[in-house]
């Protein structure tokens, strides 16, 4: 995906270098790489940001600094002000999920705008943006730290992107049918020897239930082989342990 199709993360007057670094880490977790800073309190670059970024240092190195929010989002057509507070501004309100769907569907650059850690975006900041982005949150404790807020938006955006879930990438395909048939036959052979399918009037139903049970999971070839090994071990006559 071209970088220009990915939303920009804009941090307005961020206060702590550590929080900027953590925000960069959250961005990279979900494939976002462009950070823009508006008058960071302690200047830029900030030596505290790098360690907190935990490997996302290149995002900090290429981060741009602007004197105003208007300058930071000048090239963006879809600008979302993230806030959980009422700011006396009447604008359309969306969730991170809704905003992310819009970003994937709309033309033009997009930006998620986050305010300073202590107070969030000011009324003037929200007024400059096109849309308010907020989340359902505990009304008695509506405080999210900066990295948490960034990761909520970045994660929702990533669901419509082409990121690969690691656990799915590593999953093995289901075993071929002949391997599964061999497993079922192995079970039946052992159970037959123990009179499991008695009485005869219930034998067919019991075999069908057993087959349904064993075909329900999508066993891969390693799992089938492991189960066959377990059955083969149980099938062997018990040998006395060496004393």
Q: Which of 53-62, 70-79, 125-134, 164-173 has the lowest mean pLDDT?
A: 164-173
Cα–Cα nearest to 149, from 190, 96, 187: 96
117: Cβ contacts below 8 Å, ≥ 6 apart: 14, 15, 16, 19, 145, 146
Spatial CA neighbour of 11 closest among 85, 50, 66, 75: 66
CA distance 107 to 30: 21
- Burial class from Cβ neighbours inside 10 Å (0-12, 13-18, 19+) for residue 150 reads buried
Residue 181 lies in a domain: yes
Are residues 43 and 94 part of one domain? Answer: yes
| Domain contains 170 | no
Query: Residue 143: is its pLDDT beyond 80?
Result: no
Domain-located, residue 243: no
| CA 35 to centroid of chain Cα atoms | 20
Same domain, 73 and 125: yes
141 and 229 in a single domain? The answer is no
Residues 217 and 130 in one domain: no
Instruction: Report the alpha-carbon distance of residue 36 to residue 42 in Å, rounded.
Output: 15
> Quick one: 149 and 188 in the same domain?
no
The greatest distance separating any two alpha carbons of the chain, rounded to the nearest whole angstrom, comes to: 85
Give the domain range for residue 30. 3-163
Is the pLDDT at 166 greater than 90, yes or no? no
155 with 195, same domain?
no
Residue 136, CA distances (Å) to 36, 46, 92, 147 in order: 26, 33, 15, 17
Are residues 124 and 32 part of one domain? yes
- Both 8 and 41 in one domain: the answer is yes
Locus of tokens 């999210």: 144
| % pLDDT > 90, the chain | 66
> Looking at the domain assignment, is residue 134 inside a domain?
yes
Instruction: Tell me how many domains the chain contains.
Output: 2
CA distances from 9 to 38, 110, 172, 173 (A): 11, 9, 36, 38
- pLDDT for the residue numbered 118: 85
What are 68-96's pLDDT values in tens digits?
Answer: 999 999 999 999 999 887 667 788 999 99
Q: Do 99 and 134 touch, CB atoms closer than 8 A? A: no
Q: Are residues 155 and 77 in the same domain?
A: yes
CATH number for position 122: 3.40.1280.10
Residue 168 in any domain: the answer is no
Cα–Cα distance between 224 and 221 in angstroms, integer?
5
Q: Is residue 171 part of a domain?
A: no
Sorting pLDDT into bands at 50, 70 and 90, what band is 168? low
Same domain, 121 and 11: yes
pLDDT at 103: 93
Which of 163, 192, 223 is the C-terminal boundary of a domain?
163
The verdict on residue 88 lying in a domain is yes
Q: Which helix (H) or strand (E) holds 93?
A: strand 93-94
Average pLDDT, the chain: 89
Instruction: Give residues with Cβ within 8 angstroms of 210, minimum separation 6.
Output: 184, 187, 188, 191
């Amino acid at each position: 995906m071209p970088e220009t199709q990915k939303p920009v993360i804009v941090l307005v007057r961020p206060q702590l270098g550590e929080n900027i670094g953590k925000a960069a880490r959250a961005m990279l977790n979900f494939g976002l790489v462009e950070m823009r800073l508006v008058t960071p309190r302690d200047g830029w670059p900030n030596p505290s940001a790098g360690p907190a970024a935990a490997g996302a240092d290149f995002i900090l190195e290429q981060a741009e600094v602007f004197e105003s929010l208007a300058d930071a989002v000048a090239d963006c057509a879809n600008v979302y002000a993230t806030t959980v507070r009422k700011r006396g501004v009447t604008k359309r309100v969306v969730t991170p999920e809704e905003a992310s769907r819009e970003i994937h569907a709309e033309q033009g650059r997009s930006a998620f705008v986050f305010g300073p850690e202590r107070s969030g975006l000011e009324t003037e900041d929200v007024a400059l943006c096109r849309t308010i982005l907020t989340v359902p949150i505990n009304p008695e404790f509506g405080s999210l730290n900066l990295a948490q807020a960034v990761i909520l938006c970045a994660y929702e955006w990533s669901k419509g992107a082409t990121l690969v879930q690691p656990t799915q990438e590593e999953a093995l395909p289901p075993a071929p049918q002949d391997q599964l048939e061999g497993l079922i036959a192995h079970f039946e052979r052992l159970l037959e020897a123990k009179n499991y399918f008695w009485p005869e009037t219930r034998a067919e139903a019991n075999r069908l239930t057993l087959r349904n049970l064993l075909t329900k999971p999508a066993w891969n070839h390693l799992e089938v082989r492991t189960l066959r090994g377990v059955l083969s071990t149980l099938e062997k006559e018990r040998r006395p342990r060496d004393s």
